[in-house]
Amino acid sequence: MEFINLIPNICEGLPFEKGDLVLLNFWGDNEDIELLDLISEGLSKKGVISFRHQCSKRFFENVVLNFVKSKNHISEEYFELLSSFNNVVDIFMYPPSLPKGISEEEIPMFKKNIAELFNALTGNKKYYIQLNIPTEANASRAGIEYEIYRDSLCNALSVDYKELKEACKDKINLKDAKSIEIFTGEGCTLKLDINGRDWYADDGCGDFPSGEVYIAPVESGSNGDLFIPQITFNGQIYKDVLMSFREGSLVKCSAEPLEKFLFSLPDNHRILCEFGIGLNPRIKELTGHSLFDEKALGTYHIALGMNNLFGGINECQFHMDFVFSSEKVNFK
């Protein structure tokens, strides 16, 4: 299955309607510009007007870096223009990285410009959507063999978005509850307080591939133990991991390297910040990469870290997902 053939289906799944203005921010080079043309064309069939902004490697090496080397700040008007769009689709051919030729002294100023760019693209939007293209660069960043990454991503993107939107809507409608009780492993129970928190649906309006509903539990209200059959961390697979939570925070993880990493971070990075339910029927096998696994039909996931962007109050630059299965989840 070729990604290029899935673009009409992806455009159908995007939440934009006739008359909407959408900024397509393209992290790709000129040889890949056809993808941007096809996405623009697909959106135009829905009456959506798209504007295009290209972040090519050459743009960073020969434009942004020139500003850095001359110690000039990029004009605030540039960032304000990008900020003015209420709808943004960030399209990644490769993950952003430092440009060639940058010196150690120039890195801080360059990162400051990139941070301002990301803030302009993501802040105060009706919709901010990320679309990763199946490339070797993105597969490498995910730590997955390219063929597996490509096939998994294309399968997930081929979902029927009308059916997915209905499935997400039905799942949210069924969850008028104040707490969640999760049963895993032998005798492991984790209870989450979700009183006053809203459910969100990723049915084409978040990170592609789509297919989940999720909620931010009350930050101090998660207690108990969760058994996770497999976690992939730093390229290593850890089996039968037990994670324990008290008053919303992780207090123990049986995978020692992962525990050491998590406890090297600030305290608010260990807050249980999310509970999600996977609903994408096109994801057939778990890969060990949460980009796919958390959307697979029949799976659940929790996350640690940031949740202020979806109804919580924990603000940090960290968000890590853990996918598991459960024969019994009670909503009370």
- Does residue 168 surpass a pLDDT of 90? yes
Which domains are present in the chain?
3-133 (3.40.1830.10), 162-331 (no CATH)
pTM value is 0.88
Per-residue pLDDT of 139-150, as tens digits, reads 998 888 999 999
DSSP 8-state code for residue 278: E
DSSP 62-125: IIIHHHHHTTPPPPHHHHHHHHT-SEEEEEESS---PPTT--GGGHHHHHHHHHHHHHHHHTT-
- Does residue 328 surpass a pLDDT of 80? yes
Per-residue pLDDT of 31-51, as tens digits, reads 999 999 999 999 999 999 999
Across 36-68, b (16+ Cβ under 10 Å) vs e yields bebbbebbeeeebebeebbbbbeebeeebbeeb
- Does residue 10 surpass a pLDDT of 80? yes
Beta bridge partners of 43: none
155 Cβ contact partners less than 8 Å away, ≥ 6 residues apart:
1, 282, 283, 284
